[in-house]
A and B are shown apart, each in its own frame.
Chain A
Amino acid sequence: MKSSIRPLGIIILSLFGFLLIVSFYADKSQFELTAKEMHGKVLHSGYRLDSTGLSQLVDPILIDIRNERSFLVDHLDHSVNVPLSQLLNDESLELIGQSRPKVIISDERIHANESWMLLTQMGYDSIFVYRL
């Protein structure tokens, strides 16, 4: 009797351990805020800048999220090109993680707003949006 129960116990234990590891690592989202917290945040934040607001920022990082070609044709001085598809790359997040104010620049208002939502929900702060 005993001999049949011990392997069963080992199987159950290892299964439990496996589930624990899977649930810990799988689908781990880096969002700091829940959807409802984010909703509260968007209701009380003005993050859109006009050109005077942009000029008042101290030492901002200008992040241009348009594609490379549009960036090559014309862009603001001292701006960095981070195409939207590369927004969550390690180097981009390192740039965004700095404490200086960050300004997202795009001619597409939808993408600029979306990036603001995404990064703010991930816990990055002092991010603004400027429309070309």
Chain B
Amino acid sequence: MKSRELLTVIVLALGITGAMLPGRKNDSIALNEREMLQEMLLETNYVSVDELAHLLISGDPSIQLIDVRPASEFKDPLPRAINIPIDSIFTENYAYLFDQFIKKNVIYGLDDELATQVWMIMKQQGFKNNYLLKGGLNEWNDLILDPPLPPQTASKDEFDLYEKRMASRQFFTGAKSLPKIEFTPIAPIQGRKKKKVQGGCS
């Protein structure tokens, strides 16, 4: 019987020392630096402005846009975006917002800088469904709201993309669409017709 008591005491003592051992230094970090590097290299973590325009136009209800610009600079946001300024991302229940189960967070700022910082901070805590808008609001304004006309020598794909962007522009701004651009391939240079030989004996 005594040895059993001794065993109980030892197990209890070991349990208490185990509980008092210092935990991992960074309790909030779920992904280590190598896992983070893998995430950085993964193309699926990024959304281009064209993809986002497509998602918004198709009315995907799972998209949640998060604008991380400071509150003083928050103007002309993307449709239905919510403003979570970068200096106040750690609110009381930020995990509810950034650790998404059903929705997809698309994080953006004026350019890539602030959004990348927020994305890195949230990603390393193991939060799911956070995506980064490539180029931010600047690229959105440049490519979707005011798409540049491709040069005459551009390929047909580029003209198709331009037309798509013009349609998106119409959707988001309500602007009248510009007249459709006809894609006219440059006509091949035709050689001069050979003249029939005239005269001579026949």
Measuring CB to CB, which residues of chain A are less than 8 angstroms from any residue of chain B? 1-2, 5-6, 8-9, 12-13, 16, 19-20, 27-31, 33-36, 38-39, 42-43, 48, 84-85, 87-88, 109-111, 113-115, 117-118, 121-122
In the complex, the answer to whether A48 meets B113 with C-beta atoms within 8 Å is yes
Return chain B residues, CB-CB under 8 Å to A8.
Answer: 7
With both chains docked as a complex, state the minimum distance between the C-beta of A82 and any C-beta of chain B, in angstroms.
12
A-B contact pairs, 27 of them (CB 8 A): A1-B1, A1-B4, A9-B10, A12-B14, A28-B32, A31-B29, A31-B32, A31-B33, A35-B26, A39-B121, A42-B121, A43-B86, A84-B40, A85-B37, A88-B34, A88-B37, A109-B116, A110-B46, A110-B132, A110-B134, A113-B112, A113-B117, A115-B40, A118-B37, A118-B120, A121-B124, A122-B33
In the complex, the answer to whether A5 meets B113 with C-beta atoms within 8 Å is no
Q: Is B50 part of the binding interface, using a Cβ–Cβ cutoff of 8 Å?
A: no
Interface residue count for B (Cβ, 8 Å)? 39
With both chains docked as a complex, state the minimum distance between the C-beta of A62 and any C-beta of chain B, in angstroms.
20
Return chain B residues, CB-CB under 8 Å to A6.
Answer: 3
Measuring CB to CB, which residues of chain B are less than 8 angstroms from any residue of chain A? 1, 3-4, 7, 10-11, 14, 18, 21, 24-29, 31-34, 36-37, 40-41, 46, 86-87, 89-90, 111-113, 116-117, 120-121, 124-125, 132, 134
